[in-house]
Amino acid sequence: SRSINLAVIPGDGIGQEVVAEGLKVLSAVLPQDVKLETKEYDFGAKRYHATGETLTDADLDELKRHDAILLGAIGDPSVPSGVLERGFLLKLRFAFDHHVNLRPSKLLPGVATPLAGQPEIDFVVVREGTEGPYTGNGGTIRKGTPHEVATEVSVNTAFGVERVVRDAFARAQARPRKKLTLVHKNNVLTFAGHLWTNVFNKVAEEFPEVTTDYIHVDAATIYLVTDPARFDVIVTDNLFGDIITDLAAAVSGGIGVAASGNINPGRAFPSMFEPVHGSAPDIAGQGKADPSATVLSVALLLRHLGHDAEAARIEDAVSADLAERGALPARSTSQIGDALAARVAG
């Protein structure tokens, strides 16, 4: 479409700084005839402290009117653990049915990895985003006593698993290697494991060109550090996806360059794009944050909205910038943003 109506949520900590650079690059890459409208929202710790609110129904109604959402980071040590996570981040993913949580991992030339021997890394994790242990099901009895019992219920449905598995097969089919790995723990979590495995095997029949395999989540962490090249597309549960995508980010250049999309593929609701890193309050306001992860999240956003050429221009610009970084003196957040904006414009 020839206009983009974007909700912008800078959020907490370094969120403000990195989102400013993301928008700078977005403005620079868009052709003249694509109209960009942005509206900023003040969700996060400040609003929570001022009003006690994290995300109201009225907020959701407003956000719903946009084509997409760009988020910096939400979270601050002044807010008890879980309040903003469950009250904002997860609430939004669930309300807008972001069932495809997309997290690409690519080790770009010149980028440092903690792994020896600079292995080839180029895979995408398709993490389920609306089920599993993230539903908030469960509870506590006898809280604070020696007899407390707390439960967490992982909820998995054929409907929810099938749609994300199908999405992952389609993504694998579209990539040169056409390989899809299911990551789960079906030898222990046998109820959910059988559901995932059966649905995976059934959908596989529709994609005969895609090679498939299965790996337990514990073994997957081993392969991610000993043989990450074996992965092309991974599909997995919400919690396993949370864990392995942080590890994937670490081995493929760190959370400074890890982008993600919380996607509603049918576009019934706006999708949300955000760097995998958090608000990093320890370095906030100092111009030290790397905006690359946010800029790459903008590329995912553009691709979701059909602006593939612009998405590719951004990805190329980030690659080129990272490749040259070793030779340059350290730059501030906005200097990196300026450099990327210049590259995509040029």
Ligand X SMILES: CC(C)[C@H](C(=O)O)[C@@H](O)C(=O)O
β 35-40/233-236 pair status: unpaired
Quick one: how far is CA 155 from the chain centroid? 21
- How far the first Cα of the chain sits from its last, in Å, is 23
Name the 3-class secondary structure at 303.
helix
**Residue 129 labeled ligand binder:** no
**Residue 143 labeled ligand binder:** no
Contact 227, 215 (CB under 8 A): no
- 168 near a copy of itself (CB under 8 A): no
Pick the closest to residue 66 from 310, 311, 304 (CA basis): 304
Active site residue 57: no
Catalytic residue, candidates 35, 143, 202, 218:
218
- 89 near ligand X (CB under 6 A): yes
| Contact set for ligand X, span 208-227 (CB under 6 A) | 218
Catalytic residue, candidates 97, 134, 237, 321:
134
Tokens for 156, please give them.
Answer: 């998995």
- 145 near ligand X (CB under 6 A): no
Active site residue 242: yes
Q: Which residue has the tokens 């960009």?
A: 36
Stretch in the footprint of ligand X (CB under 6 A) among 5-13, 48-56, 85-93, 309-317? 85-93
Residue 20 interacts with, from a copy of itself, ligand X, none (CB under 5-8 Å by kind): none
d(C-alpha 203, C-alpha 177), whole Å: 18
Q: What are phi and psi of 100, to 5 degrees?
A: -105, 105
Shortest separation between residue 31's beta carbon and a copy of itself, angstroms = 38
Catalytic residue, candidates 67, 122, 246, 338:
246
CB within 8 A of 208, min separation 6: which ones?
none
Residue 258 interacts with, from a copy of itself, ligand X, none (CB under 5-8 Å by kind): none
CA distances from 102 to 221, 232, 263, 273 (A): 18, 13, 7, 9
User: What Rg, from alpha-carbon coordinates, does the chain have?
Assistant: 20
Residue 342 interacts with, from a copy of itself, ligand X, none (CB under 5-8 Å by kind): none
Of 131 and 315, the one with the shorter C-beta distance to a copy of itself is: 131
Pick the closest to residue 134 from 179, 105, 170, 164 (CA basis): 164
Active site residue 33: no
Of 192 and 263, the one with the shorter C-beta distance to a copy of itself is: 192
Shortest separation between residue 125's beta carbon and ligand X, angstroms = 11
Stretch in the footprint of a copy of itself (CB under 8 A) among 172-180, 185-193, 203-211, 326-334? 185-193
Binds a copy of itself (CB under 8 A): choice among 31, 52, 109, 144 = 144
d(C-alpha 68, C-alpha 90), whole Å: 17
**Residue 281 labeled ligand binder:** yes
Active site residue 64: no
- 73 near a copy of itself (CB under 8 A): no
Contact 41, 10 (CB under 8 A): no
- 54 near a copy of itself (CB under 8 A): no
Name the 3-class secondary structure at 293.
helix
- 229 near a copy of itself (CB under 8 A): no
DSSP 8-state symbol, 310: H
Active site residue 134: yes
Catalytic residue IDs: 134, 185, 218, 242, 246
Annotated binding-site residue numbers for Mg(2+): 218, 242, 246
Which residues are annotated as part of the binding site? 93, 103, 127, 218, 242, 246, 278-290
